[in-house]
Structure 1
Amino acid sequence: MLTNIPNLRSDAGLASALRVSLARLTRRLRRQAAHHSLTPTQLATLSAVERHTAMTPSELAEHEKVQPPSMTRVVAKLEERGLLTRSPHPTDRRQVTVSVTPQGATLLKEERRAKEAWLAQRLKELTPEERATLRAAAPILEKLSKM
């Protein structure tokens, strides 16, 4: 367990341990993806649009920290696969908004279900005390993710 690692006593050591552990967990979760062949960027884009209902490609690019031309290509691929749809912007006729299609929403639901099933199984392998520690840490990790 991480608490036995001496360098966790410093903030720098904790930062290092968290970075490594979270990166490893993220890779493991990515491998649990439903079989849809989306790239991580495409999946993140689809998820962002779902969370924010409808967004312009420029808003998406800013949200996902990518250049607008890159986002335009990602949106085009997702639209081509029937996962996103474009609509005229409600107030600016020069722009469009993108929204998740029912097929896109279904794909996201399957993706989440596969990852959560894998993670739920891993959690069952932990002790009750370890699960309690993770429950206490979850809001803190969420806070860190929004800073």
Structure 2
Amino acid sequence: MSSHRTSTVDRDAVARALFVSMGLLRRRLRASGSPGELTFPEVAAVARLQRNGPATSAELARLEQISPQSMGATLAGLEERQLVRRSADPHDGRRVVMSVTERGARVMERRRDVRVEQIAAALDGFTDAELHCLLAATPLIQRLADGL
């Protein structure tokens, strides 16, 4: 038995609208960054280590879909700033794993707090109904992200 759904909503139009609006949001947040802030690859590496725990440079490169050389350079810069540290893999002493330092965790927390404050300030002009609508959409946006 086939599970075709009929819909009055144009899925491609929704995808296009989300792509445009989320891209604009991402660009505006990036544009408001401060000098010396982490680059996108640095944020991605630290966030991945925070979520998944210690990993090798090669594992991180594969997960982030970048070259091992690029990940190595990214991690070297993060290590130099003491945001990540290298240590022997507890399961295989021949391997080196990277993990987030306390300083790295604090930098990421401050970064998130600043971004949340920026978004909260932009929400000041929204009605309660609009805020409820945005809040209701967040699990759907998360589900969409998980599906990519």
**What interval of TM-score do these two structures reach, taking the shorter chain for normalisation?**
0.7 to 0.9
Query: Which consecutive segments of 4 or more residues in structure 1 shift more than 6 A?
Result: none
Question: 1:78 deviation in Å?
Answer: 0.5
Q: Which amino acid aligns with 1:62?
A: R
Q: Which residue of 2 aligns with 1:62?
A: 62
Structure 1 unmatched runs, 5+: 1-7
| TM-score (norm. length: structure 2) | 0.87
Q: Which residue of 2 aligns with 1:37?
A: 37
Tell me if the contact between 1:33 and 1:111 (Cα under 8 Å) persists in the aligned partners. no
Name the count of aligned residue pairs.
Answer: 140
Q: Which residue of 2 aligns with 1:3?
A: none
What is the aligned-residue RMSD (CA, Å)? Answer: 1.6
Kindly indicate whether structure 1 or structure 2 has the higher relative contact order, using CA contacts under 8 Å at least 6 residues apart: 1
| TM-score (norm. length: structure 1) | 0.88
**Sequence identity (%):** 35
Q: Which residue of 1 aligns with 2:53?
A: 53
Tell me if the contact between 1:34 and 1:110 (Cα under 8 Å) persists in the aligned partners. no
- Cα distance in structure 2, aligned partners of 1:11 and 1:141: 14
Structure 2 unmatched runs, 5+: 1-7
1:5-52 C-alpha deviation (Å, 9 max, x unpaired): xxx941111111110000000111223445533211111111111122
- Cα distance in structure 2, aligned partners of 1:86 and 1:42: 15
